[in-house]
Amino acid sequence: MADKDLQLMAHLMRRAGFGVSREKLDELVEKSYDETVEHLLEMVGHPTRLTDNLIRRYHPEYSGMMGNQSAGANWMYRMVSTDAPLREKVGLMWHGIFATGYSKLANGKVLHDQIRMFERHGMGSFKNLLIELSKDPAMIVWLDNSENHNGSVNENYGRELLELFSMGVGNYSEQDVKEAARAFTGWTIGNTEYMTLKSARDSVWPYGRLSFHFEYKEDDHDNGEKDFLGHKGNLNGEDIVAIICEQPATAAFLARHMYSFFVADEPPVPEWPYKPPRDEDAIAALSKVYFESDYNITEMLRFLFKSDFFKSDQARYQRVKSPAELMAGVLRLTEEFDRPKIDMNPTHLQATYMGQWLLNPPSVEGWHWGTEWIDSGALVERVNFASERLGDLDSPGVQAMVDRMATDSPSELTPEGLVEGALDVLSLTDVSEKTQSGLIEFAEAQLSEMNRSSDSESKSRQHIANVLRLAGATPEFQRA
């Protein structure tokens, strides 16, 4: 894949989506790069995918979401089947930033609803998103704002709103935390005691746990004067969010998150006060768009995808795919979930074995992305998953990829051609010399075995698929 336009389009689709087949890549290149960016942004608002009604016919538990896996597995169906991958990708970004988990909520339905909220509001105004987050029942319970009362303040949500969700450590004082918490008193879930009891007892089966709903209790709100980041008055939660969004620190914090998720891995957030960004000019440029667009996420992404720092060769393969991204990308290539199947249950679990339990992050800090996804145990799971699925000739997508690789008769295939074909169908545009030589050596062995024996056509195709399988185990395929 030497064509520069193909390479750039493959890069865009790995970052703005989960990758695409080579056939789809050819279609996209027929349009201009900017047209493709606009189409990705436009499709966020009206996606087509496997419908919940169809999924629930095969998986009744995905309706009730009583277990700790069903909500995440339902989301994986959306990632795999959608024609608007950026919508799910942005939802995944917000889930990593606004980390909320089953371990405390024990309610898959409200977590499912939170992700849908991210997808509805996550491409609009950041101010509006923070307000919706503050009203989100999963977040209210997760960070104890239901226990935040006038005269008995719980600072948990106020602290994390500033530290992890908007500004970052060092840009506010302890007094600002206290004042923010006071402003969010009365922001709670409706009929709290009854809803909690009903959900804990599962007494609404078979319809699943009840989905909490937001309620603002005026009589529980602290109406006293507050002094937050230099602003004084009878501030409510909306006022706190508005003040936060005006801060240059918020623009830089959000820009760095977007750069890390879409361009190149940054260090974990706790290290940000002590380590500068990889590209300070890019952060400054994104921050400028943040203010000029009235905090609009779509405009920031439009600028990012069309920027020189995103399109640069140096940005290629600078992100380690999260387990969810790796899994969704592989399953979109293999096309094995063209309809709901019971196999989604064990398949989705494999992301957990790789280190990412969707909708159940390890803490409010979320996961540490980048190279921290890779340890000896997780790497084995990642390689095994990719190579197993990409070598399965029962999957229609794998059959199509092998067909494309085997355009010549077996006697005319060369190791170099076979490797080039495998990298081509996986849209791997640039691999190291070490990776290339290792793949060619393996391809030689596969072709030698094919030529030495009177294998049936199916066995010959499996030898070709084995090269594809090994390509999926390369370091480059583990990156985006």
Q: What is the rounded average pLDDT of the residues 8-32? A: 95
pLDDT digit string (tens) for 462-475?
A: 999 999 999 999 99
Higher pLDDT, residue 262 or 413? 262
Mean pLDDT (the chain) is 92
C-alpha closest to that of 183 among 226, 133, 130, 137: 226
| Residue 109 CB contacts under 8 Å (≥ 6 apart), including other chains | 64, 65, 71, 208, 209, 210, 211
Contact criterion met (CB below 8 Å) for 334 and 468:
no
pLDDT band at 1 (very low <50, low <70, confident <90, very high): very low
Token pair of 93, please?
């970004």
pLDDT of 122 reads 97
What single-letter amino acid sits at 264? A
Q: What is the rounded average pLDDT of the residues 231-257? A: 98
pLDDT digit string (tens) for 24-80?
A: 999 999 999 999 999 999 999 999 999 989 998 999 888 778 788 999 999 999 999
Contact criterion met (CB below 8 Å) for 86 and 40:
yes
pLDDT digit string (tens) for 331-346?
A: 999 999 999 999 999 9
Other CB atoms within a 10 A radius of the CB of residue 211 amount to 15
pLDDT band at 454 (very low <50, low <70, confident <90, very high): low
pLDDT band at 210 (very low <50, low <70, confident <90, very high): low
